[in-house]
Structure 1
Amino acid sequence: TICPSADASFKNCRVQNKSQDCTSGESGTATTAAPSNSAATTAAPTTAAPSNSAVTLDCSGDTFIDCWTFFSAPDPTHGDVVYVPESTAMDLGLYSVQDDVVYLKSLVGQNGPAKSIRLQSRKVYQAGHVFLIDIQHMPTGQGTWPAWWSFGPDWPNNGEIDTIETVNIENVVQSTLHTSDGCYMYGVDGISTPNCVSGQGQSGCGVNGPDNSGGPGFNANGGGVFATQWTTEAIYIWFWPRDKIPADLDQGNTLSWGTPYVTFPFWNCPSWHFNDQQLVINLDFCGDWAGSVFPGGNQACIEYVQNPANIGALSEAYWAINYVKVLF
């Protein structure tokens, strides 16, 4: 069996959860995505990493912004939000870097839709990569809907991989796949439904993350790191709280990382369901998910988020990110 996404830096890989020596094969390649709703066109940086490092893209500190474009079109998930362009984000103080930590903030309680940030990667990816995100603080609060995810063009035909999604003050994330028809995740522990089809009321196939992988519990523990490995055989997702983060993440030896909290195998889901994935970080409010589970429904959620009296109650609605890295 050819190893999924193998290259010279993959000494081992996962094939149906088994270890296998990898000495040949091709890794997924990254191509540059057309900028979306942004005038900036600078190329994303690549890291001059040590020879034993598998890091090919390091988004952190003052250069974090170079990896992304600012999405400013209407929210496709019908949230009570205006995603602002880069210039507005800077003017309003919604984007900042302090002590190498990147802050993505929101502006609520303005008697109108919340102002927020949605970042989309300048590069798009094929299978063969590991995506790491180190988060100190995840947005939380009634009406919030933060997400770290990726999607392909012509949604849902090229798939969506949601590593982090959570709403309101939940202390766990949900990790979900969205696809066109013909992708099933039979036998995955805790799966919401085995049918990953999206559209026409279908919500994809997902599982809950570990305890305190989101919300107030995540933040109280100092955050942590999520890793998403996408191969031609499966998608694997790990989470480590701050005091459990492996020291060798940059080397990409995924077999030393322990068991992923979810493995989405492609046994009953052809791998062609996922292509040209663009990475996304955003904070939404209300809308299709957070609004639907808000007490009183979406309109009550909108009224809550827009009410100036609730600015303090939503003071935790921000991201604090140490880095995003791409391996291989």
Structure 2
Amino acid sequence: MPAIPFRVTLLALAAATTACGGGSSGGNSDGITDIPEDPVETRPERCLEDPQNSGYCLVWQDEFSGDAIDSEKWTHEQNCTGGGNNEAQCYVDDRDNSWVADDMLHIKAIREDAVGPGKTDDDPDYDPEDTSGSGTYTSARLRSKGLGDWKYGRFEMRAKLPHGQGSWPAFWMLPTDWEYGGWPLSGEIDILEAVNLKVGGEDRIHGTLHFGDEWPGNVHSGEAYRIPGDLNPADGFHDYAVEWEEGEIRWYVDGDHYATQTSDGWYSSAALDNPLAPFDRTFHLILNLAVGGDWPANVNDGGIDESAFPQEFQIDHVRVYQCSEDFETGRGCASTDGDFVSNPGHTPPEAPDNAGDELVIFNGEIRAPYQWYTYTDGGTVDFETVEVGGDYGDAGRITYNTDAGIGFFQSVDAYDLSDYTYVKFDLRVLEEPADAGSAALTFRADCGHPCTSGDYPLDMPPLDQWTHFEIPMADLVDGGLNAKAVDTPFVISPVWGNQDGAVLQVDNVRLAR
């Protein structure tokens, strides 16, 4: 659809008036009064066409009018990782799975066994020759990363969707630089998703945001939509879009504004002091057709219907517009009919119930919302609550049957603990590691990988004697801790490589203001 000029410059013309008598002030020598023209508005440099009446101007497009996928706009991701959702496909760069013809991009999912890289394309250990991953389908996933990256704008696709149990087409966005950390700390914008269309009358499309904390503290919020007139998205072409501006994202189908979310309902635990995070950074576009996975497998008939494949995702065009009223914020070009769902989203979790001058983590029992976890690179780290008597009653006993392990108290959500001054705890060593001469302890606090305080060394206290520790939060912050988003305030272990045989007891673990 051609763009509609946003502003038309008018040339003001004036009729000449002849001076009577001795001439007129402000006139020129032939008696015609000069009337200045309106200034000519120039098209902003980034705009490919004049701005529309809304103020949006086209800045990037692919009409898929050639005979090949444009390598200056899209690259293929190639892996067999299952998309983090136990999906069944390998993504490949093969003309059988993705091609341009008839002025359309075609993405086809085919039932065939395949092998490929077992890591995602952005993983530092990614090897395109790796064959450790496998799938029972082949398909394609195209992205504009490094070729088309934007902060704010209108992102639009016209497409006909595939159908059948196990089909999962998507038009979505991921952060280009992951500035707030790994998924979903840096966010995800799903412009369009649909699963299992036509199965049991399934006709919904979905628009969703993903954000929050690392799994299992990740959250999402979104809305489903049905096209009026009982139209199924698999039966014809429709326009799917989001408008994303500073602090607000809106979803559209065929121009119908059906949902809005605002920054009041999203957050990143890596930047709780930034109300716009994570949707205030540069994102890129993704087009893909997944097969199976946790979502389609658990709705409608479940699983994958092999007889439904091959399936094809047909994309007529993809266009990106930005708001010429204010490129920096994207504001001033919103379109809405006032009849939409305002999704409240999610807000950061509040501090634990027992938070006050002291936040108790363990005092003979583990206090919610914290739980005890361990990590080892072989062997075990065992934890149990035992009766020790005296002033301590019950305490936690940690036994190291490894030279490479840690134990820690962690919550699902991250909390703002920046008002606390110290991490305090009591510790007793019942058994030292095998090499007692070089025994020492390491403490740290974490705020979601890779955010951490770093290792905080502690001297190994005397054997069989309770010792009180107070670690300044300021020291942990200096080591890299983001105190506004802490999910693991207590990590303890003998130093790596010299742990086996150590037995520790801990009690009165808390944070104090």
Alignment TM-score, normalising by the size of structure 1: 0.63
User: 2:278 — aligned with what?
Assistant: 273
SS in 1 for 2:48: coil
Write the letter of the residue equivalent to 1:179. F
Give me the whole-angstrom Cα distance separating, in 2, the residues matched to 1:109 and 1:55: 39
Write the letter of the residue equivalent to 2:174. F
Residue 133 (structure 1) aligned to one of 132, 157, 179: 157
Q: Which has the higher contact order (CA 8 A, sep 6+)?
A: 1
Write the letter of the residue equivalent to 2:216. Q
The yes-or-no answer on 1:263 pairing with 2:267 is no
Give me the whole-angstrom Cα distance separating, in 1, the residues matched to 2:247 and 2:261: 9
Contact map agreement 1:129 1:327 (CA 8 A) in 2 = yes
User: 2:48 — aligned with what?
Assistant: 49
User: 1:35 — aligned with what?
Assistant: none
User: 1:32 — aligned with what?
Assistant: none
Write the letter of the residue equivalent to 2:276. S
Give me the whole-angstrom Cα distance separating, in 2, the residues matched to 1:125 and 1:213: 36
Give me the whole-angstrom Cα distance separating, in 1, the residues matched to 2:314 and 2:222: 25
Write the letter of the residue equivalent to 1:325. R
Runs (4 or more) in structure 1 with deviation over 4 Å come to 109-112
SS in 2 for 1:179: strand
The yes-or-no answer on 1:219 pairing with 2:234 is yes
Q: Which runs of 5+ in 1 are unaligned?
A: 1-8, 12-26, 28-45, 182-197, 241-256
Give me the whole-angstrom Cα distance separating, in 2, the residues matched to 1:138 and 1:58: 20
Q: Report how far residue 211 of structure 1 moved.
A: 3.0
User: 1:117 — aligned with what?
Assistant: 140
* Mapping for residues 19-98 of structure 1, pairs under 5 Å: 49-52=48-51, 54-61=57-64, 62=66, 64-66=69-71, 67-73=73-79, 74=81, 75-84=83-92, 86=93, 89-90=94-95, 93-98=96-101
Residue 155 and residue 131 in structure 1: after superposition, are their counterparts in 2 closer, same or farther (change >3 A)? same
Deviations 1:97-150 (A, max 9, x none): 222111111112669611000111134644321111111x21211111111111
Residue 167 (structure 1) aligned to one of 195, 201, 205: 195
SS in 1 for 2:243: strand
Residue 268 and residue 142 in structure 1: after superposition, are their counterparts in 2 closer, same or farther (change >3 A)? closer
User: 2:318 — aligned with what?
Assistant: 324
Residue 321 and residue 225 in structure 1: after superposition, are their counterparts in 2 closer, same or farther (change >3 A)? same
Residue 290 and residue 120 in structure 1: after superposition, are their counterparts in 2 closer, same or farther (change >3 A)? same
Residue 201 and residue 80 in structure 1: after superposition, are their counterparts in 2 closer, same or farther (change >3 A)? farther
Q: Report how far residue 155 of structure 1 moved.
A: 1.4
Question: Which is richer in helix?
Answer: 1
Write the letter of the residue equivalent to 2:263. F
Q: Report how far residue 47 of structure 1 moved.
A: 9.4
Give me the whole-angstrom Cα distance separating, in 2, the residues matched to 1:199 and 1:115: 28
SS in 2 for 1:289: helix
Contact map agreement 2:6 2:51 (CA 8 A) in 1 = no
Question: Which is richer in strand?
Answer: 2
Contact map agreement 2:110 2:309 (CA 8 A) in 1 = no
Q: Report how far residue 327 of structure 1 moved.
A: 0.8
User: 1:228 — aligned with what?
Assistant: 242
Contact map agreement 1:143 1:294 (CA 8 A) in 2 = no
Deviations 1:198-227 (A, max 9, x none): 73175511111233699x81232x221112
Contact map agreement 1:173 1:213 (CA 8 A) in 2 = no
SS in 1 for 2:232: helix
Deviations 1:256-295 (A, max 9, x none): x6x6200111234322212221211111111121122253
The yes-or-no answer on 1:179 pairing with 2:211 is yes
Q: Which runs of 5+ in 2 are unaligned?
A: 8-43, 115-134, 267-274, 323-513
User: 1:14 — aligned with what?
Assistant: none
Residue 238 and residue 287 in structure 1: after superposition, are their counterparts in 2 closer, same or farther (change >3 A)? same
Give me the whole-angstrom Cα distance separating, in 2, the residues matched to 1:218 and 1:129: 24
Residue 173 and residue 199 in structure 1: after superposition, are their counterparts in 2 closer, same or farther (change >3 A)? farther
Residue 58 and residue 209 in structure 1: after superposition, are their counterparts in 2 closer, same or farther (change >3 A)? same
The number of equivalent residue pairs is 234
Give me the whole-angstrom Cα distance separating, in 2, the residues matched to 1:212 and 1:97: 30
Contact map agreement 2:78 2:91 (CA 8 A) in 1 = yes
Residue 220 (structure 2) aligned to one of 204, 208, 214: 204
SS in 2 for 1:267: helix
User: 1:245 — aligned with what?
Assistant: none
Higher gyration radius (CA): 2
User: 2:109 — aligned with what?
Assistant: 106
The alignment yields a C-alpha RMSD, in angstroms, of 3.0
Give me the whole-angstrom Cα distance separating, in 2, the residues matched to 1:97 and 1:147: 18
Residue 201 and residue 82 in structure 1: after superposition, are their counterparts in 2 closer, same or farther (change >3 A)? farther
SS in 2 for 1:293: coil
Over the matched positions of the two proteins, sequence identity in percent amounts to 25
Q: Report how far residue 160 of structure 1 moved.
A: 0.6
